Structure 1
Amino acid sequence: MLAVAEINYIRHEVNKKDCTYSDVAKRTGRDPRTIKKYAEMEDFNQKPKKKQNRVAPVLGPVKSLLDEWIKEDMKKKKKFRRTAKRMWDLLKDNHGFLGSDRTVREYVAMRKAEFLNEVNDAALPLEAVSGTAQVDFGEAPFIYGGEDIVLPYLVVSFPFSNAFYFQVFPSQNKECFLEGMKRVFHYMGGVPKAIRFDNLSPAVKKILPNGERQLTDEFQNFVLHYGFECEFCNPNSGNEKGHVETMVKYVRNNFLLPGLHVINLDDLNKELWATAEKDRERKHYQKEWTISELFEEDRAAFLLLPPKEYECVRYETLKADKYGYIKVDLNLYSTSPRYALGKVLVKISYNKVEILNDDQQLVVSHSRMYGQYRKSMKWQPYLNLMAKRPTALKYTSFYDQLPEEWKSYFSACTVAEKPEALKLLSIILKDHDFSVITKALVIASEHGHPSVDAIKQVFYQLINGRGIRSDIKPNISLPKLPEATRGLDHYDQFHKGMDA
């Protein structure tokens, strides 16, 4: 395009002064065809420049392969990504590439920048972008242990495909929140690249100015471990995660009403994977594809799982009371007599409360309880103390929990036997339940009241798979001996034989 002043001069000389194209060309030093073009031009609207698609005969055939490698690497940590030099080596060695390393480096740098821009744009979960998710809790009625209760369920939804997963939990606490997401990640075999949340207390400790969030330590570590981008709604703006809120209602109305009978939550949650996947065989409400087909695009955009699974637990140092109980939430859990009035390290997950010693070895494990004040007592650590006061046995809840065989045995024990039996149970119950040691007691009692050592011997024979040795019955025949008689007749007969 010529300068505006030069174009005006050409149009003036040709159209106003009737000069020939050749004359004006000589004066301006331009080609006569250029003079003709601008003198007769009628459309001066600005037009966008056409992108030049230059043919790349060497690089062209491998561009799609390089794109694939770059996208694969963007799912990995930086230290695990292929360098442009490494890509060039692979192309040379495996694909007969003849181009220079500089050509590959320039292309890789350009495409990385383009893909990063796409990822940044895609990190807004409000848009239906593949590989992104939204998370929230819902509540539904259940019949559990014969009682009508309300339990929360965690929903992870995928706006691009309209797919979802959900899991039922006893609470909406940090451990259940993280456990639910972790289960979904590992079941899918990948991690959404961006996840939108409400300002849930398990994730957000405090909302700061300028839209910043102070995250809970557990959630921050979880995010770092799995590497996804987390976004939060503005306060009181649940509509910003409208997809998952819709899915929460959809899940409750279609799968959880009326209230399900629940015997074991873990068994129920195993069934819910198939429930969610079966729902995907319908068409998307807008797109002409099934949800299951669209979810494959979501899956293709996921980040890779880290090599190690995250442990959704928190550690607390708590003080035990004089009986050795510690309090977690509103409930009491036994530790060991040696921790009475002392501090103990507690490992807390969504379903367990574990007491650890100073070397972080397990002392005792409890199932985690939810609801109002309850008490969990594990007697094994207390049995050695009880062995010093055996007369107190009948007045403990441990005695009520004993199998009838053991109650009968303790009733028949001598004063000396009771402490020894309690010490044996202290050792056995550390790694085993009552089933095998009770069987050992029954077998050892076949010939009367057994000693503690006899019960112990039978127990170890049972767990080592050697069985119980039966009485030995020799399989040999002995010569028949003459009947023994009293008196001296046999002596007289002996002498008669000698005289003959």
Structure 2
Amino acid sequence: MNDYKEIRQRYLAGESQRSIAKSIGISRNTVKKYCKGDTVPWERKTPERQATVVTDDVLAFIASCLSEDEKEGLRKQQHTARRIFDRLVAEKDFTGGESTIRRIVSELKNKRPKAFIPLQFDPGEAMQVDWGEATIYLKGEKLIINLFCARLCYSCRPVVLAYRRQNEESFLDAFVKTFEILGGITSRVIFDNGKVAVKEGFGAHARMQEGYSALSAHYGFEAVFCNPAEGHEKGLVEGLVGWARRNICVPVPHVESIDELNTLLLHRCLNYEKHQVRGRKNSVGILFHEEALYFSPLPRYIFETAKCTSVRVSALSTVRFRTNTYSVPVKYVGYEVSVKGYPETIEVHYKGSLISVHERQMGKNQTSYHLEDYMPLLETRPRAVFDAAPVKQNVPPEVLAELKENTKSQDNVISILQLYAEKQTIKNRIEDPVIVSPVDLHKYDELRIGKEVKIVE
């Protein structure tokens, strides 16, 4: 660049090209090229030479091979550059080198990224939802749980809920809780084509599962499904899944229950209201308060999210739900009862009355016994105590060994078991879950200001 500057300045001052070249020590051709300013040193001429062996026919053949791979969609059965070269030699009598084909294939595969249209949503218009996974310690056991992630499109207010299974019960329950937490309903909900929501088809042609169809009808929102492999159509919530893993589940949470984890998730999502998303005019919390005014109100009836079935209580005083077995009080043996499967619990009802609640078993062919369910039977058959499955499941082995060795009276054994049964009853006492929605304190300011304006008038 310095040479170019000197050439130009000396030439404009009237010095000859020969003199400039001799004093600077460069070629006269270089001085001739740059002295008039018609050519500049920072521009490079794009080579226009084209390989003679790479004809339009060869390029079309390579493109057809890659197009065929894309159409078949078989990740492990695609054309390599070597395979395309071999086919060109065999089918097109190609005489060029393999390196030439490798370069062309690389250029065609490394296409420019797709362009997307920036989206903008009105307050209360839409919410995006998705599923993700995270690792936690539940009662000391390391396991992978499912995260239901929802995000409002206008304010970016997030809601994250944890479930042990990604099934229809969890999916519907997550919606009910999300609407309760937000205090209203958006006009649209944008989701992918997961089987929990879609029976068949995809995108605009998706047919909803009956449960999701009933949910959307009850809450009055339009269910919108994305096209396959088009994650950008719900990019806000895609980012939320990663945010939840990095910011809520690091370090790895140690909890005693899913409810404890959900309390942590709710707290972190509330703290996110202080955050201001890049490109937004205000913080998430302020925008959320604006958006909440446009939500549809919640219906009075809370949507039933459970999987329901009617079964007859077996002679062992148990009912079966899915692949697992749960006990009920022995007085209901032979009766027809209703079983409701929720994400974390199983409820058994008889003629509208709740008679038993169990923690839902997540494995297969497992049995959950409540000791109190069998106490009336054990009192009449005390010899079966030490072999009874409900006793062995609920009383520690060391306690049973102590009872067997040192307790002579069957009445004493039954009395001790009764204490364990009462303890279990207290532990499993049924309480109505109450979801406490965040309070919008701005409402008080609005009421106060409105009142003052009214007085002035």
Same fold (TM over 0.5): yes
Query: Does the residue aligned with 2:407 lie in a helix, a strand or coil?
Result: helix
Match of 1:376 among 365, 368, 387: 368
Matched, 1:287 2:280: yes
Task: Indicate if the aligned counterparts of 1:141 and 1:258 stay in contact, CA closer than 8 A.
Answer: no
Q: Which residue of 2 aligns with 1:313?
A: 306
Contact 1:193 1:301 in 2 (8 A): no
Question: How high is the TM-score relative to the length of structure 2?
Answer: 0.58
Once residues 434 and 369 of structure 1 are traced to their aligned partners in structure 2, the CA distance between those partners, rounded to angstroms, is: 17
- Which of 206, 215, 231 pairs up with 2:208? 215
My pick for the range that moved more, 296-305 or 376-385, is 376-385
Q: Tell me how far apart the structure 2 counterparts of residues 204 and 338 of structure 1 sit (CA, whole Å).
A: 42
Aligned residue number for residue 195 of structure 2: 201
The question of 1:227 aligning with 2:228 is answered no
Distance 1:379 1:128, change over 3 A: same
| 1:322 Cα offset (Å) | 5.1
CA distance in 1, matches of 2:423, 2:353: 13
- Which one of 182, 191, 196 corresponds to residue 188 of structure 1? 182
| Residue 350, structure 1, aligned to residue 343, structure 2 | yes
Partner of 1:270: 263
Match of 2:355 among 337, 357, 363: 363
2: distance between equivalents of 1:399 and 1:318?
A: 25
Q: Which amino acid aligns with 2:143?
A: I
Deviation at 1:382, TM superposition (A): 2.5
Residue pairs, 1:119-138, within 5 angstroms: 127-131=120-124, 132-138=126-132
Structure 1 residue 363 displacement after superposition: 2.6
Q: How many aligned residue pairs are there?
A: 305
Bigger radius of gyration, 1 or 2? 1
SS in 2 for 1:165: strand
Partner in structure 2 of residue 247 of structure 1: 240
2:162 to 168, 185, 200: 168
Seen in structure 2, the aligned counterparts of structure 1 residues 407 and 364 have a Cα distance that, compared at 3 Å, is: farther
Larger RCO: Structure 1 or Structure 2 (Cα < 8 Å, ≥ 6 residues apart)? 2
- Greater Cα offset, 241-250 or 378-387: 378-387
The Cα shift of 1:204 comes to 1.9
1:345–1:355 Cα contact (<8 Å) kept: yes
User: CA separation of 1:250/1:332 partners in 2, compared to 1, >3 Å: closer, same or farther?
Assistant: same
Q: Quick one: structure 1 residues 318 and 211, their matched pair in 2 at CA, closer, same or farther if it must change by over 3 Å?
A: farther
Give the distance between the partners of 2:361 and 2:132, measured in 1 at CA. 21
Partner AA of 1:390 in structure 2: P
**Is residue 248–residue 265 contact of structure 2 (8 Å, CA) maintained in 1?**
no
Name the CA distance, whole Å, in 1 between partners of 2:149 and 2:216. Answer: 18
Structure 2 vs 1, CA of residues 196 and 303 (structure 1 numbering), >3 Å: closer, same or farther?
same
Partner deviation per Cα, 1:348-368 (whole Å, 9 max, x = no partner): 1112112222x1322322111
Cα distance in 2 for partners of 1:385, 1:271 equals: 43
Which residue identity does 2:373 align to in structure 1?
A: P
Q: Is the 8 A contact 1:380 1:430 kept in 2?
A: no
Instruction: Tell me the amino acid that sits aligned with residue 371 of structure 2.
Output: W
Distance across 2 between alignment mates of 1:353 and 1:402: 22
Instruction: Tell me by how many angstroms 1:340 deviates.
Output: 6.1
Mapped contact 2:407–2:413 kept (Cα < 8 A):
no
Aligned position for 1:152: 146
> In 2, distance between residues paired with 1:434 and 1:306?
33
1:411 aligns with 2:407: yes
Match of 1:299 in 2: 292
Distance 1:126 1:201 in 2: 27
1:237 and 1:429 map into 2 onto residues whose CA distance is: 54
Q: State the secondary structure of the residue aligned to 1:273.
A: helix
Give the counterpart letter for 2:151 in structure 1. S
Structure 2, gaps ≥5 residues long: 1-117, 429-457
Superposed CA deviations along residues 281-315 of structure 1, whole A, max 9, x for unmatched, are 23221133222222223212111111232232121
Query: In structure 2, the residue corresponding to 1:195 is in which secondary structure?
Result: strand
- Give the letter aligned to residue 339 of structure 2: V
Counterparts of 1:385 and 1:391, CA distance in 2: 11
SS in 2 for 1:287: coil
- Deviation of 1:328 after TM superposition, in Å, equals 2.9
**CA apart distance, 1:265:** 2.0
Cα distance in 1 for partners of 2:320, 2:138 equals: 25
| Mean Cα deviation higher: 133-142 or 239-248 | 239-248
Opposite residue 382 of structure 1, the aligned amino acid is Y
For the structure 1 residues 288 and 355, does the alpha-carbon distance in structure 2 shift closer, same or farther, using more than 3 Å as the test?
Answer: closer
2: CA distance between counterparts of 1:418 and 1:280?
58
Report if the CA contact (8 A) 1:388-1:419 is conserved: no
* Contact 2:128–2:151 (8 Å) recurs in 1: yes
Aligned residue for 1:30? none
Deviations 1:456-500, CA, capped at 9 Å, x for gaps = xxxxxxxxxxxxxxxxxxxxxxxxxxxxxxxxxxxxxxxxxxxxx
Alignment of 1:178 with 2:147, yes or no, is no
Partner AA of 1:215 in structure 2 = M
- CA separation in 2, counterparts of 1:420 and 1:292? 58
> Unaligned 5+ residue runs, structure 1?
1-124, 436-500
Change (3 A) 1:331 1:223: same
1:198 touches 1:233 (CA, 8 Å); kept in 2?
Answer: yes
Is 1:387–1:418's contact at 8 Å kept on the other side of the alignment?
Answer: no
Q: Do the aligned partners of residues 264 and 430 (structure 1) sit closer, same or farther apart at CA in structure 2, a change above 3 Å counting?
A: closer
How far, CA to CA, are the matches of 2:425 and 2:137 in structure 1? 32
Aligned-residue identity in percent:
26
Task: Report matched runs for 1:441-460 at 5 Å.
Answer: none
| Cα distance in structure 1, aligned partners of 2:253 and 2:385 | 42
- Where 1:332 maps in the other structure, the secondary structure is strand
Q: Is the 8 A contact 1:140 1:257 kept in 2?
A: no
Match of 1:142 in 2: 136
- 1:55-70 aligned within 5 A: none
**8 Å contact from structure 1 (residues 399, 407) kept in 2:** no
